[in-house]
């Protein structure tokens, strides 16, 4: 990642290296702000209603926090071991908090599925499997390049049930594979079997 700008926190002259929402910040401010927000969110999850504004905002923050911390720590070898450990800690804490923010529990089921992209100029099909699944979404491996907000068709190869899904996150794993999180646009139906 290029160091082309200064941290957007007033008074900070460090290079901006991590995107947070619409701002770019330095590693120190990302770490401090993430810890502060995760602490607040951890103590207020019981006050949110599923689907409410605070719940949705927390889910978006947690998702972005995990993706930013993981992506930055994997792509940058020049950071210190302490900074890397803090980023891993933030990603782990945000992942755990994200589990509490799910609409329904996830089950570890390896269902064989076919992912289908019908996007103009980028049509493809791929057989893969779910790593975990809920009524509202799944985590799966995907060899093709996808972006957040891409729409895919998901075909359960055992039941031939098909649903549309939106990519809500994607990340590369240490093995070089890609995992994606998808949200079903309609309830998952027989994909959970």
Give the DSSP letter string of 72-101: HHHH-TTS-HHHHHHHHHHHHHHHHHHHHT
Q: CB of 137 within 8 A of CB of 189? A: no
- Residue 69: inside a domain: yes
Q: Which residue has the higher pLDDT, 1 or 27?
A: 27
Whether residue 73 is found in the same domain as residue 118: no
Per-residue pLDDT at 171: 80
Give me the residue label for tokens 């901006």.
16
Whether residue 166 is found in the same domain as residue 88: no
- Of 100, 126, 154, which residue is a domain's last? 100
Per-residue pLDDT at 124: 95
Residue 113 has pLDDT above 90, yes or no: yes
Tell me the mean pLDDT in the region 23-51.
80
Helix axes 81-100, 27-44, angle to 10 degrees: 30
Answer whether 0.75 is exceeded by the pTM: no
Total structural domains in the chain? 2
Whether residue 169 is found in the same domain as residue 128: yes
CA distances from 29 to 19, 39, 97, 106, 155 (A): 11, 15, 21, 33, 43
- Of 100, 130, 161, which residue is a domain's last? 100
Whether residue 18 is found in the same domain as residue 75: yes
Residue 4 has pLDDT above 90, yes or no: no
Q: What is the DSSP letter of 149?
A: T
Q: Across all residues in the chain, what is the average pLDDT? A: 82
Tell me the mean pLDDT in the region 104-126.
84
- Residue 156: inside a domain: yes
Give me the residue label for tokens 């590693």.
27
Q: What residue numbers bound the domain in which 156 lies?
A: 112-192
Tell me the mean pLDDT in the region 163-178.
82
- Residue 107: inside a domain: no
Per-residue tokens: 78: 């020049």
């Amino acid at each position: 990642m290029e160091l082309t700008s200064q941290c957007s926190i007033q008074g900070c002259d460090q290079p901006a290296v991590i995107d947070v929402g619409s701002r770019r910040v330095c590693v120190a401010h990302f770490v401090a702000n993430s810890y502060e927000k995760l602490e607040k969110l951890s103590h207020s999850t019981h006050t949110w209603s599923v689907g409410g504004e605070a719940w949705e905002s927390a889910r978006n923050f947690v998702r972005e926090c995990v993706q930013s911390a993981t992506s930055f720590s994997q792509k940058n070898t020049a950071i210190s071991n302490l900074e890397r450990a803090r980023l891993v800690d933030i990603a782990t804490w945000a992942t755990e908090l994200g589990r509490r923010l799910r609409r329904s529990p996830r089950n570890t089921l390896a269902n064989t599925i076919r992912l289908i992209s019908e996007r103009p100029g980028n049509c493809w099909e791929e057989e893969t499997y779910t790593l975990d699944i809920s009524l509202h979404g799944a985590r799966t491996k995907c060899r093709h390049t996808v972006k957040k907000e891409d729409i895919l068709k998901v075909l359960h190869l055992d039941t031939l049930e098909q649903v549309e899904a939106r990519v809500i996150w994607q990340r590369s794993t240490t093995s070089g594979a890609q995992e994606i999180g998808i949200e079903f646009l309609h309830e998952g139906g027989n994909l959970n079997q």
